[in-house]
Structure 1
Amino acid sequence: MNTNSGGNEFGRGAAPQAGPIVPKTANEALRPEKGTPPPARRSRKSRSQVIVFLNFMLSLVLLAMVGAGLAVYLGKKAFIEPGPSVSGDTFLVKPSTGVAQIAEQLERRGLISDARIFRIGVRAYDNDQALKAGEYEIKPHASMREIMELLKSGKSVTYALTIPEGLTVHQAFERIAAHEALAGDMPAQLPPEGSIATDTLRFTRGATRQQMIDKLMADQKALVAEIWARRDSDLPLADENEFVTLASIVEKETSRGDERSRIAGVFLNRLRKGMRLQSDPTIIYGLFGGKGKPSDRPIYQSDIEKPTPYNTYTINGLPPAPIANPGRASLEAVANPSKTEDLYFVADGTGGHAFATTLKEHNENVARYRAWQRKQAAEAAKAPAGQPAGEGEASGATSTQ
């Protein structure tokens, strides 16, 4: 009996035996299985938009870099090239003024072309805290960099205050008050006569009047103390006040350096002998004080005889205080006077003085001087109007008798 009829050798319903496994090719392996969706692919259009955007951004970056480089180049060029000012000018930087404000002021004054470039340039050089207050002389066509270096240097414009020898304190204060570069008010009260140094002070705009006065007073005090400390030991002077007082009289008697020591010697000789000093400048100070005699006002005979605390024709010894501010030369002359027997002197008509040891010699010198005065007057009368007849000492020249 055939038991396998209608079936296979495994029996009915059995699964057929699998055949030999054939490996897939590379292409077949990469193919997706049926029923699996293919991976998303970026379209050519999408890829093109990304590339365009990236190219655009790169172009922007490059353009920005080029623009920045150009801006730096042009800014640096403007910072170092000659400036717009044709004539130059002075420029004042007040204390605590910032770079931005300085830049704006420079531009408004026409000293730079662009405040922003100046501000950026100063900061690029790390000088935004280095600019100093002061007044500066900016040269024509100065570049922004040159201006920056000038303001950084602190080399300000300086001014001079000069107090000549022989001025009174009142006259010195008039000069200080009138100086336009000084700031601040004047003191309400004048310091003592003779306490102001006769000197030239250098300062920058904005210095105060009080600072100048304090400096002049301190300098005079130090100078007087220095010279008084090395004076001749036999001077008939009691203290520094008498020392400065006599020096102020010598200062007003002559401006010639070769005569100061000899004139000081005359006055000291007279003090030793108890003679009155009879100095014309003391008459003037007694009458007019620190304001001084008007230039067109002569000394009258009645002035000589008019008693005042300062008139050495009517008082014995020295006045109570100086009559002017003496300079170093007059102080030195009194501290170390010429050793002579002279007791008199009178103007000689040449800008100097004739000295004498006796009254007889002195009267002869006075007569010669009076004759010279008459000659000058006669020549003046003959000269055409407006033409000077000659030079000589003004009326009222000192004659110590």
Structure 2
Amino acid sequence: MWRALASNMLTVLAVGLFLLAGVILWGKSQYTAQGPLDEAICLQVKSGSNMTRVSRDLEASGAVSSGAMFRISARYSEKATQLKAGSYLVKEGASMEEIIDQITRGGASSCGTEIVYRIGVNRLLLEVRELDPATEQFVELVEFDPSEGEAPAVYAEKRAERDTRYRLAMAEGVTSWQVVEGLKAWDVLAGEVDELPREGLLAPDSYDVTVGMERAALLAQMQEKQELRINAAWEARVDGLPLQSREEMLILASIIEKETGVPEERRQVASVFVNRLDRGMRLQTDPTVIYGITKGKGVLGRGLRQSELRGVTPWNTYVIEGLPPTPIANPGLASLEAAVNPDTTDYVFFVADGSGGHAFAETLDEHNRNVAKWRAIEAQQQGN
């Protein structure tokens, strides 16, 4: 009798172990299998939340078929206590494994609201936008110039949300004064700026920002990135350039940056200035004249006068020989690269062509014809 009972118990145990192994294997397959979500969603994990609340939200949105299975999977993966607050883009068909990894790894939020502060050459602009999970494209809620009166209510609303992300976008060709004044105007940042960074030493780029970040720390990031770019560009320079130092390269790059907004033209513009330097010709570039007037503090906002073109300043390249003494703006990476690797041309002139770009010329006669074409385009534009 005891033998039969023991045999039956062993059989039951074996069956139980077999079933348990099957359940474990099934659970593992469910953990890694494609999820039921048929359209991406933005999952918000609030500070102080837990896996139970998150699993219910996921089940309600159709991202997981079973909230209980999700919680078990989180415990099985030993990540149940590692939840990180934030907004997460959960993509179509995301597995439980992928979702758990997302919400426990943390890092920058991948969806939700983003506030972008743009420091441009002509204006400041604040954009409040949200990611549409279905298209993975940002939808603009509002944009405004923070220097022009009170901010829209939606800006304050989104500023109050803890998972809102912040980013600063610095345009190529802005001056250091414009950057510092722009940082002073943004209420997200803190701290004073004791000294204006030298012209040209701030890297135009996009920077992640946190509420309360020190302005000086952000400027230090910009300077560190620009220093790396300057060194890399100088090391990659071609032979035979009429540039004696990194500083001269930076000055030339800043002039290239201010002369053209067409990426494909940068190396052509660089070739004009390199050719002029090689031939002992004055650079005769308007942006240097403008910098001599404004010292980088704002935009001139009008055309240059003949008296200003003839006026003597250290930056007026219609008057001085060679390069001006300092950069005239903060050049981007592409302009730095163009300065040390210009196109091989015989161009020594260029003028606007009416399309946003420039017409280049090797001789004065050719240049004069291009200028005449541009004057006719200007006259037509003014008459319309």
Please give the range of the TM-score, normalised by the shorter of the 2 chains. 0.5 to 0.7
2-side partners of 1:334 and 1:131: how far apart? 49
Instruction: Pick the aligned partner of 2:186 from 170, 179, 189.
Output: 179
Q: Is the 8 A contact 1:156 1:204 kept in 2?
A: no
- Call closer, same or farther: CA 1:307–1:135 in 2, change over 3 Å: farther
Partner in structure 1 of residue 3 of structure 2: none
Offset of residue 285 of structure 1:
0.4
Q: Does 1:292 align with 2:308?
A: no
- Call closer, same or farther: CA 1:301–1:216 in 2, change over 3 Å: same
1:51-130 superposed matches below 5 A: none
Q: Is the 8 A contact 2:192 2:215 kept in 1?
A: yes
| TM-superposition CA deviations, 1:207-247 (whole Å, max 9, x none) | 32222111110000001100110101100011001000000
1-side partners of 2:86 and 2:295: how far apart? 38
Runs of 5+ unmatched residues, structure 2: 1-41, 50-74, 91-100, 110-164
Q: Larger Cα Rg: Structure 1 or Structure 2?
A: 1
Offset of residue 289 of structure 1:
1.1
Offset of residue 278 of structure 1:
0.4
Q: Does 1:270 align with 2:263?
A: no
Offset of residue 375 of structure 1:
1.7
Instruction: Give the TM-score, by structure 2 length.
Output: 0.60
Partner in structure 2 of residue 343 of structure 1: 348
1-side partners of 2:86 and 2:216: how far apart? 20
Instruction: Pick the aligned partner of 1:167 from 145, 164, 174.
Output: 174
1-side partners of 2:254 and 2:89: how far apart? 43
Offset of residue 156 of structure 1:
5.0
Q: Is the 8 A contact 1:285 1:292 kept in 2?
A: no
2-side partners of 1:138 and 1:267: how far apart? 48
Partner in structure 2 of residue 195 of structure 1: 201
Partner in structure 2 of residue 8 of structure 1: none
Partner in structure 2 of residue 385 of structure 1: none
- Call closer, same or farther: CA 1:90–1:299 in 2, change over 3 Å: farther
| TM-superposition CA deviations, 1:256-310 (whole Å, max 9, x none) | 0111101100000000111100000001100001213243x22111111111111
Matched residue count = 259
Instruction: Pick the aligned partner of 1:302 from 300, 307, 310.
Output: 307
Q: Is the 8 A contact 1:264 1:334 kept in 2?
A: yes
Partner in structure 1 of residue 234 of structure 2: 228
1-side partners of 2:272 and 2:43: how far apart? 54
1:327-338 superposed matches below 5 A: 327-338=332-343
Partner in structure 1 of residue 320 of structure 2: 315
- Call closer, same or farther: CA 1:127–1:261 in 2, change over 3 Å: closer
1-side partners of 2:242 and 2:103: how far apart? 56
Q: Specify the code of the residue in structure 1 equivalent to 2:357.
A: G
1-side partners of 2:102 and 2:354: how far apart? 54
Q: Specify the code of the residue in structure 2 equivalent to 1:189.
A: E
1-side partners of 2:216 and 2:104: how far apart? 28
Q: Specify the code of the residue in structure 2 equivalent to 1:175.
A: G
RMSD: 3.3
- Call closer, same or farther: CA 1:210–1:360 in 2, change over 3 Å: same
2-side partners of 1:301 and 1:270: how far apart? 22
| TM-superposition CA deviations, 1:185-224 (whole Å, max 9, x none) | 1321111100000100123333322221111100000011
Partner in structure 2 of residue 245 of structure 1: 251
1-side partners of 2:46 and 2:207: how far apart? 20
| TM-superposition CA deviations, 1:343-373 (whole Å, max 9, x none) | 1011111111111111111111111111111
SS of the residue corresponding to residue 258 of structure 1 reads helix
Q: Does 1:255 align with 2:265?
A: no
Runs of 5+ unmatched residues, structure 1: 1-87, 94-101, 104-124, 140-148, 381-401
Offset of residue 178 of structure 1:
2.8
Q: Specify the code of the residue in structure 1 equivalent to 2:311.
A: K
2-side partners of 1:138 and 1:339: how far apart? 47
Q: Is the 8 A contact 1:91 1:138 kept in 2?
A: no
Q: Specify the code of the residue in structure 2 equivalent to 1:165.
A: E
Q: Which moved more, 1:153-162 or 1:208-217?
A: 153-162
Q: Which has the higher strand share?
A: 2
2-side partners of 1:281 and 1:304: how far apart? 11
Q: Is the 8 A contact 2:351 2:371 kept in 1?
A: yes
| TM-superposition CA deviations, 1:148-187 (whole Å, max 9, x none) | x99965445532111110000111223323333x432132
Q: Is the 8 A contact 1:186 1:209 kept in 2?
A: yes
Q: Is the 8 A contact 1:136 1:150 kept in 2?
A: no
Instruction: Pick the aligned partner of 1:282 from 263, 272, 288.
Output: 288
2-side partners of 1:199 and 1:293: how far apart? 21
Q: Specify the code of the residue in structure 1 equivalent to 2:222.
A: L
Q: Specify the code of the residue in structure 2 equivalent to 1:262.
A: Q
Q: Specify the code of the residue in structure 2 equivalent to 1:160.
A: R
